[in-house]
Amino acid sequence: MSCRTVVFISGRGSNLKALLANQRHFSVECVLSNREDAAGLMFADAQGIPTFTAPRDAFNSVREQKSALYKKTEELQPDLILLAGYMQIIDADFIHQYENRILNIHPSLLPAFPGLEPHRKAIESGAQDHGCTVHLVTPEVDSGPLLAQMSCEIRQEETEDSLASRVLELEHQLYPWVVNAIAGKELIYHADGRLESSDALKKEATERKITIAP
């Protein structure tokens, strides 16, 4: 049976597109958004994927707005929740309800440069390498257990835009790979913090220049 996922987005949905194009061991049951003008919703509609929106101005409070998204998620009973450019902080109660089942991709080599503007921070810091990280979501923003990373060298003439573009290409490779690995039981995060991966996955990671977290 395929692993059932839902995807949370707030914008263009480029990682959503990558996920939909690389479904091997998982299915996307619904795309949810806190913005009804999120461009990724139109792409999901075109692919026949159900969508659900809860824009802030349709509710009396942020709490009510978030509750609508959470309630819809509970109705769908997903195996995994995938954050893909979702720009709202997830409440701790919801995270605990789906502990170790909410994934996010962040455009830096965490724990370096969490939060906003990671590309600018990387360039200004003089870092030699940059990249992206798939991690489990915890109440502390961008602080959950790391699953895998891909990296690229920061070039001498690098701009924030050029670096963001190159890292985005890595994101599109890494996120579906990790989700498929988890859905296919080749990458397993244990409650005690151990990350177990199959020999075949380790070999594939090496070939793809992916670093599985220790």
User: Could you report the per-residue pLDDT of 32-64, keeping only the tens digit for each?
Assistant: 999 999 999 999 999 999 999 999 999 999 999
Residue 176 contacts residue 17 (beta carbons within 8 Å):
no
Average pLDDT score over the chain: 96
State residue 2's pLDDT score.
85
Segment (H or E) for 17:
helix 14-21
Catalytic option among 25, 96, 106, 130: 106
Q: Is 106 a catalytic residue?
A: yes
User: Could you give all domains of the chain from N- to C-terminal order, each with its CATH number?
Assistant: 1-88 (3.40.50.170), 104-214 (3.40.50.170)
- At residue 70, the 3 state secondary structure works out as helix
Backbone angles phi, psi at 29, to 5 degrees: -85, -30
Q: Which one, of 176, 138, 123, 126, lies nearest residue 16 by Cα?
A: 176
Residue 1 has pLDDT above 90, yes or no: no
Residue 6 contacts residue 29 (beta carbons within 8 Å):
yes
State residue 153's pLDDT score.
97
205: region left, alpha or beta (phi > 0 left; psi from -120 to 50 alpha): alpha
179-194 burial string, b = 16+ CB within 10 Å, else e? bbbbbbebbebeeeee
Share of the chain above pLDDT 70, in %: 100
Q: Helix 160-183 vs helix 118-125: angle between axes, to the nearest 10 degrees?
A: 120
Question: Tens digit of pLDDT for each residue in 157-193?
Answer: 999 999 999 999 999 999 999 999 999 999 999 989 9
Give the list of residues 6+ apart from residue 11 with CB closer than 8 angstroms, or none: 35, 38, 39, 40, 85, 87
